[in-house]
Amino acid sequence: MSIYSMTDASQTSSAPCLRVALLTTPSGLDTCGHLVRHLRVAGILIDYGPWGRRPQAWMGRMWRGLRHGFDLLRKPSPFAWSGLGVPVAWTANINSEHAQRILRRWSCDLGIIVGGRIVKRSTFAIPRLGTINKHSSLLPRHRGLAAEYWCLYHEDLDALGVTVHFVDDGCDSGPILLQRPMNLSRGDTPGSLRQRSEELGREAIVEAVRLIEQTGTRGITQNETLATINGKPTPRTDQELARRLPQLWSKYAA
């Protein structure tokens, strides 16, 4: 789904009734478009801080040439853009008092993190039922950054997939709602796995919201004895993984 198709905010008849708030960065707008179509979205809060610039500095380049014109940049109010059919607000930091006031104003049942910086309790605890997140591995393996990358690097293909979990004070350590495995295909790279993870994760988030609504589940506690946590990839690990990818395809690809 492209960004500009988000202007159609129609929702399916089977959409859960829980009111959700989407906490995202500009890179997560594509996923937000899917969620707007399938969930009852109370609002979208976009954290532009990790991008290092105010939205006016980069949005013109990102959306220039798209078939549908966005008039957000020409309107002073962060709530003035009605293209999504839901409120949209901007913040320099998702953990700021400004962001928290917006979330309280929306009075949502559930928050959903669609990428971005670590969200603190003062923010993720505002929605009535808490906040959920999609992570790109089968937790508790490979918490933290670049999960698909490290699944490949460590040849831990059994951990390849997506997990939707409640957010707590730890790093990807909250109770698990559901998990969906992925297989390695010939030619896959960390980038292609990330794209597949995003697509699978969108559906998993919708399913998780429906599960919460229908069962009231608070998830399953993770087994800390199995947990691993990832650091940031380095040029050395990039070179090693690129060299080993053909061997991984031969050994593990479906």
What are phi and psi for residue 47, nearest 5 degrees? -95, 105
Render pLDDT for 93-137 as a digit per residue (tens, 0 to 9).
999 999 999 999 999 999 999 988 899 999 999 999 999 999 999
What are phi and psi for residue 231, nearest 5 degrees? -100, -160
Render pLDDT for 16-70 as a digit per residue (tens, 0 to 9).
899 999 999 988 888 998 999 999 999 999 998 865 555 555 454 444 433 333 3
In single-letter form, the type of residue at position 165 comes to H
Structural domains of the chain in order of their starting residue, each with its CATH number: 3-252 (3.40.50.12230)
16 upstream amide cis, omega within 30 of 0: no
Q: Strands, DSSP E only, in the chain?
A: 19-24, 40-47, 88-91, 110-114, 131-135, 143-144, 161-166, 176-181, 229-230
Please compute, for residue 33, the number of CA atoms within 13 A of its CA located in the half-sphere on the CB side. 16
Beta pairing class for 88-91 and 40-47? parallel
Q: What is the pTM of this model?
A: 0.83
Other CB atoms within 10 Å distance of the CB of residue 238: 13
